[in-house]
Every structure is written in structure tokens, then in C-alpha cells.
Amino acid sequence: MLRTAPSWLINKTALYSHRIIGEAFAAIGARRFHVGLLASLVEFGPSSQASLGRRCGFDRSDVAEMINELAEAGHVERTQDPSDRRRNIIQITDAGRIHLERLTATLDAAQQELVAPLSADERADLARLLGRVLDYQVGRHPL
């Protein structure tokens, strides 16, 4: 019965996905939030810390620590917002772009491991179907 319940299958698969990706990132000294924050900065450009956290879906209280970790590694820079001196603007550095490339390659390899038993067409179908379910749920119940 459980093996035919989509929610059970999605949850069980997500546990393996989380582990595979976490281990892959740990092997290169990275953490999963690195890719989200850095990719957001590349896609949307420099951002306030609060906007960046909201866009990535991270709790506001955790974002400062995440940014600190990336800044200490030289992957992002903080500058004071000239229009509001209380706010910092976060931007990706060249080292951060290189780190993101490495993260993306690592993530791609981990994704391949996760869906290894599927053909290329089946992988595309799975992504398409999960995307439809997600889009529907986001439309009904935004997080």
C-alpha cells in the first residue's frame, strides 16, 4: 500500500536525496545553502540580506550566519547600502562564482546518482511531473 502512495514515495526519496546531496557537498567542504544563496545572487544580482533570505526561503534569523560563512570564505562581499545605512548589500565575488560552478557540478553528479536507475526520458518525465505537482501546490498553498 505505501509503495503506491505518492506522498510516501516522495518523502522516502527526499530522504535519500537529502543524504546524497549533503554528503556530496560535505566532501568538497560546502553546505547546501551555499548553492541557493550564490545562485540567487548570480540570477538576481546584488541584494539586501533580508531579500536574499526571503527569495531563497531561509529563515531570517539564519541568513546572517549563512552570509557570514560565505563572506569568511571570500564567496560574497557585504557593502553598506548607500540609500539605507542600516542595510547591507550582498554580492557574489569571483571566488564565489568559481565556488558556485563547483557546487553546480557536484549537485549535477549527486542528482545523477539519485536517479541512476532511470533512463534520460524517464528522468525528464519525473522532473516534469514533479514540477507540475509543485506548481499546483504552490498555487494553492504558497509557503
Predicted TM-score (pTM) of this structure: 0.85
Work out the mean pLDDT of the chain and round it to a whole number.
94
In the chain, domain spans = 10-140
In this prediction, residue 70 carries a pLDDT of 97
Q: Classify residue 49 as exposed, middle or buried by CB count within 10 Å of its CB (0-12, 13-18, 19+).
A: buried
In this prediction, residue 68 carries a pLDDT of 95
Amino acid at 16: Y
Quote the CA–CA distance of 3 and 67 in Å, as a whole number. 40
Tens digits of per-residue pLDDT, 111-137?
999 999 999 999 999 999 999 999 999
Across the beta sheet with 47-48, the strand order is: 47-48, 84-92, 76-81
Fold that domain 10-140 belongs to in CATH:
Arc Repressor Mutant, subunit A (1.10.10)
Residue with cell string 529563515: 59
